[in-house]
Structure 1
Amino acid sequence: MQATYRARIDERVHYPYFDAMVEYFGRLERKLFVGHYVRGAPVTELKKRYIKEYRITARQFNSLNNSLSGKIESIREIQEYQERDLLGRIASTEKAIKEKEEKRDKIIKSLKKLQPRTEKWQEKIDRLKGIKFIIHQKKRRLRNLRQRLENLSKDMARGIVRICFGTRKLFKAQHNLAANGFKDHAEWVTAWRKARSSSFFILGSKDETCGNQTCTYFRDNTLRIRVAGKFTKEFGRYIELTGIVFPYGQEHLDRARTVRRIVKGRKECTAAISYRFLRRGDSWYVHATTEVEASPLRTSRWNGAVGIDLNDDFLRVSDIDRFGNPLNEFEIPVPMRDRSKNQVKAALGEAVKKAVLYAKERGKPIAIENLDFAKKKQALRESGTKHARMLSGLTYRQFRMMVESCILREGVELLKPDGKNVDPFATSVIGQLKFMVRYGLSSHGSAACVIARRGLGFKLEKATKSSVLKLPERKRTSRRNYWLRVSNRLKKTHFSDRVALLYADRF
């Protein structure tokens, strides 16, 4: 697993070099993009020319190329995601138009049976106008979506990657300076140049001294940076930063830069450490990225398991023994509404850490669901306000990445039946009907209990009998098919009140 750690550079005497270097490397990166990705020149030819013409080392060119190729690959992944997303949005919009047209036709048909100019007739006319307006707007949206998909498909077919160094948002800000907080165009130009040149990357290698020969982190916490040939007269051959200590992850970096084995009797081998120097405001930071070894496992399935259920604004954690019986449940708040992405990310990270440490203390592995909200989020415009707000706030991918990162650090096992996270099929319905009332659990706590049981490998629970909810008749069919019928029935009949009814049935 790769991990990145950050430290601030307090020696401001070296800031002029960083400012010059980031502007120089930013310009070379844009030139490389035009030369290789726009004009199609081979990287090998460009490398020879850049080393000679721009006076950089081969490792510095490799760092430049690696940083740029990472951006290009991420954009190509985004293109694939956008294509799937647009197809889903088009399908949901077409479905919504079809439903509205059916309503329109029903109203037109009912109008023929009513007397004109009556109160009921006028009410139907108003509804008809509203539906026609909605259909018109959705057809406009559908046309725009199809046009975006056509343009994207052409770019993907031709291998075109569109990238704006400095972000498109800031580029467009020049057309409305006052609204974006700029006094004049000169102030915008300064901000634009800083955004286009805000960081530079130095690639590491495991067969180099301390994992990186261009930027070497010695045991005395001195960071030595090799200066590009263009700036050696002004800044010397090397820049040395003393007392560089990383507040988090220092022990991992110490282990990474320690010699692990000797190759061919002489050559030392460590872990590769790559560095990115980043400007934030008026300060410079160094980000160190390296491979981190997973901690030894401190959990066992014989102790049971801990299930985590992700919800809007909170995590629900359920603890079970090795026989699948619930022992405990609790809630960890995660405020998501009216907050920035960074605030949500910080709150979610703290909540995940609490859940993982709870599992670690009890020596139990963790189970989470294999959820994917991509298709549901494609139809947000066609959903109700409450449902859309809930879906937009759920960041399952980020949640999963945080769990996987935290368990590696803490030595907690993540249960993956069949090599994947837990199947989310009917966890809420099964938990409510089988465990909620019987063990006095909450609605989400019972779902987390089912997640933990499924992580331990328990089979799908048997069908249940209910004296208060009318469930489908149990026929000779598989348990999965029956629970699917139960879920569909409850969505239609008791979507919002089934929890209250199940609790009321106890008394």
Structure 2
Amino acid sequence: MADSTLHAIEAPFVAPGPSGVAIRTSIKGMSQRDREVLPLVGAHLGSLACADLRARCRAGTDHDSDQWAERKRALTEESSSRWAGSITKATHDQWGLSRRAQLAHIQNLEAGVRTIAHRLSRPVGEKGTKRAPGGYRTKQEWFQKTRRLHVLEDRLERERSDRGAGVVHVVRGGKRLARSRHNLEAAQLAEHEWRQRWEAERWFLQADGESGKRLGNETIRVGSDGEVSIKLPAPMAHLANAPRGRYVLDGRIDFRHRGEEWADRVSANRAVAYRIHYDVDRGRWYLTASWTIPPVQTVPLAVARANGLIGVDTNADHFAAWRLDEHGNPMGEPRRFRYDLDGTAHHRDAQVRHALTRLLHWARREGVAIAIEDLDFGAEKTREKHGRRKRFRKLISGMPVARLRARLVSMAAELGIAVVAVDPAYTSMWGAQHWQKPLTSKNRRTTRHDAAGVAIGRRALGHRIRRRTAPPPHDQSDRVGHRTAQAGHGTRGREETRPRIPGPRTRSVSPDAARTRVTSASTTVRDAPVDQVWVQDSLLLTD
């Protein structure tokens, strides 16, 4: 009988492709005047963006279209109508993101309160089960958790009150960078270095695209020859070096990645959004171009399963992958694609991108799809759920699940490879239980992660993870249940016994037993009349 407490397994599905494209390049050959004008424009527009965000947060959930129009008119006087549109749209996006983050924080606090309250209700020292945690180990820990519970309940009440009133807490430039100002030694920054980072993060130099306008954007215009020009705000029109209040940079850009696609869009006057930003560490100015694309048509699930696929288990330092045929049988040897998540964000991103590139090239050579878990560690990193397991909490916190999934889908779409997402429940446990030992040999040591890759691939193919069910406890009949998981109820001959074939298959009858018994059998009957001969028929020794 199935365990009713098990997690309901969701059906696998083909992950949809990306809906947008973003490319970045550095602005080369900038003059000293360019390096002076861009910070001035960015600082001015950044101050307007700060004021607009303050007004939007003050309005809360009572904000309406009339207030939006009023804010835009106020910004137009200090910049231009197009700059005002870009600033207000960015403000609304940031406010909406803060609301979603606030809801996630409330759900995290609720989960922590439930966990602590449950463990406090259990006797001290009671052991937990796989389904529910037990009590705390000592009375001292129990007392400390009672205080922790009051802290979380106070935070939860405050967050719920803010959400009901439409209040969000946003810091332009980032809360982490703002807090590092009070502990520069830990951040390994001098005061002037922190100030430079803070100002650069608060600058605003981004504009939305406009379809049908010249080169797809009237505010920040980039020509096919790499020339970049900016529509200056009204108070800074005296800095213009081109007609109609525009400033043309001496620097030029050159998109190497997707350059032809970008050139086709700007030549057809299709919308392209641009963002200019300054990298303090490298001392370089960058320009990012982005645009939307029609959703990539995903292949049906049956087509993705046709030739088998590659099951991929995601871990903290590597991908464990195994090729499976369409019947769910492992083929060849397992492979591992390692990456290192220590170091800077750029280093981690490069490591993940390199590992995904090798995985996708292997899938393209095999001509199959990729199956991966639909992971989400958003609610799995709390200290209340995992308690003293600090290493495990750090492990799952360091896995870039969301970025990895987005990058894999976008890279696979470029190569025409389908990605099948499966429910991650019990894949590691059942894979190790049913596949780790059978796939281990003298020359191959199968790990738990390799077995999980097989389990993920079988689930994506629509097969059960287990290899076959256990035989009935009574006998080999069907009074308790069917013997194998492979034969369905409609399969012909499933109730019959296996035919006894002489040879190595049965090992009880020699290969020549049938021939020997037939030739050595008597052909006459003793004491029979001479004129009456009885011949014995050949014996049928096989079913």
Select the residue among 195, 216, 236 that pairs with 1:231. Answer: 236
Give the aligned residue type for 2:138: I
Structure 2 spans left out of the alignment, 5+ residues: 1-18, 128-135, 441-445, 472-478, 486-543
1:2 CA displacement: 1.5
Asked if the contact 1:297/1:412 (under 8 Å) is kept, the reply is: no
- Matched residues in 1 for 2:110 and 2:361: separation? 41
**Paired residue for 1:274?**
273
Q: Identical aligned pairs, as a percentage?
A: 21
Superposition TM-score, scaled by structure 1 size: 0.75
Select the residue among 153, 168, 185 that pairs with 1:146. Answer: 153
Q: For each residue in 1:251-300, what CA deviation from the matched residue of structure 2 results, as whole angstroms up to 9, or x when unmatched?
A: 332243242xxxxxxxxx62x21111111123321111112467898995
**1:245 maps onto 2:254 in alignment:** yes
Asked if the contact 2:22/2:290 (under 8 Å) is kept, the reply is: yes
Q: Secondary structure at the match of 1:289?
A: strand
Asked if the contact 2:106/2:160 (under 8 Å) is kept, the reply is: yes
Q: CA RMSD in A?
A: 3.3
1:3 CA displacement: 2.3
Give the aligned residue type for 2:262: L
Q: Secondary structure at the match of 1:458?
A: coil
Select the residue among 303, 309, 313 that pairs with 1:305. Answer: 309
**1:80 maps onto 2:103 in alignment:** yes
Select the residue among 101, 124, 127 that pairs with 1:102. Answer: 124
Structure 1 spans left out of the alignment, 5+ residues: 106-128, 260-268, 416-420, 467-473, 481-507
Q: Measured at CA, do residues 196 and 132 of structure 1 come closer, stay the same or move farther in structure 2, by a change above 3 Å?
A: same
Q: How does 1:16-55 map to 2 (within 5 A)?
A: 16-39=36-59, 42-51=67-76, 53-54=77-78
**Paired residue for 1:332?**
337
Q: For each residue in 1:54-100, what CA deviation from the matched residue of structure 2 results, as whole angstroms up to 9, or x when unmatched?
A: 1x22211111111111111111111011011111122222234344x
- Matched residues in 1 for 2:198 and 2:432: separation? 57
Q: Which has the larger radius of gyration?
A: 2
Asked if the contact 1:431/1:450 (under 8 Å) is kept, the reply is: yes
Give the aligned residue type for 2:96: E
Give the aligned residue type for 2:371: A
Give the aligned residue type for 1:103: G
- Matched residues in 1 for 2:152 and 2:438: separation? 49
- Matched residues in 2 for 1:168 and 1:433: separation? 45
Q: Secondary structure at the match of 2:331?
A: strand
Q: Measured at CA, do residues 273 and 154 of structure 1 come closer, stay the same or move farther in structure 2, by a change above 3 Å?
A: same
- Matched residues in 1 for 2:151 and 2:98: separation? 22
Q: Secondary structure at the match of 2:422?
A: coil
Q: Measured at CA, do residues 166 and 393 of structure 1 come closer, stay the same or move farther in structure 2, by a change above 3 Å?
A: closer
- Matched residues in 1 for 2:189 and 2:349: separation? 30
1:204 CA displacement: 0.8
Asked if the contact 2:27/2:252 (under 8 Å) is kept, the reply is: no
Q: Secondary structure at the match of 1:376?
A: coil
Give the aligned residue type for 2:422: V
Q: How does 1:75-474 map to 2 (within 5 A)?
A: 75-99=98-122, 101-103=123-125, 131-175=138-182, 187=192, 190-191=195-196, 194-195=199-200, 197-236=202-241, 237-241=245-249, 243-259=252-268, 270=270, 272-281=271-280, 282-292=283-293, 301-328=305-332, 329-336=334-341, 338-378=342-382, 379-415=384-420, 421-440=421-440, 441-459=446-464, 461=466, 463-465=468-470
- Matched residues in 1 for 2:385 and 2:353: separation? 26
Higher-helix-fraction structure: 1
- Matched residues in 2 for 1:246 and 1:258: separation? 15
1:447 CA displacement: 1.8
1:382 CA displacement: 1.3
Asked if the contact 2:113/2:149 (under 8 Å) is kept, the reply is: yes
Asked if the contact 2:126/2:137 (under 8 Å) is kept, the reply is: no
Asked if the contact 1:300/1:363 (under 8 Å) is kept, the reply is: no
**Paired residue for 1:108?**
none
Q: Which moved more, 1:72-81 or 1:235-244?
A: 235-244
Q: Which moved more, 1:422-431 or 1:155-164?
A: 422-431
Q: Which moved more, 1:404-413 or 1:189-198?
A: 189-198
Q: Secondary structure at the match of 2:221?
A: strand
Q: Secondary structure at the match of 2:125?
A: helix
Asked if the contact 1:433/1:464 (under 8 Å) is kept, the reply is: no
1:452 CA displacement: 1.8
1:27 CA displacement: 0.7
1:29 CA displacement: 0.8
- Matched residues in 1 for 2:198 and 2:23: separation? 26
Give the aligned residue type for 1:238: R
**1:69 maps onto 2:92 in alignment:** yes
- Matched residues in 2 for 1:313 and 1:193: separation? 33
Superposition TM-score, scaled by structure 2 size: 0.71
- Matched residues in 1 for 2:439 and 2:267: separation? 52
- Matched residues in 1 for 2:172 and 2:422: separation? 40
- Matched residues in 1 for 2:167 and 2:107: separation? 18
1:460 CA displacement: 5.3
Give the aligned residue type for 2:24: R
Give the aligned residue type for 1:36: R
Asked if the contact 1:295/1:410 (under 8 Å) is kept, the reply is: no
Q: Measured at CA, do residues 178 and 375 of structure 1 come closer, stay the same or move farther in structure 2, by a change above 3 Å?
A: closer
Q: For each residue in 1:207-238, what CA deviation from the matched residue of structure 2 results, as whole angstroms up to 9, or x when unmatched?
A: 32232122222222222322222222222322
Aligned residues between the structures: 428
- Matched residues in 2 for 1:395 and 1:304: separation? 27
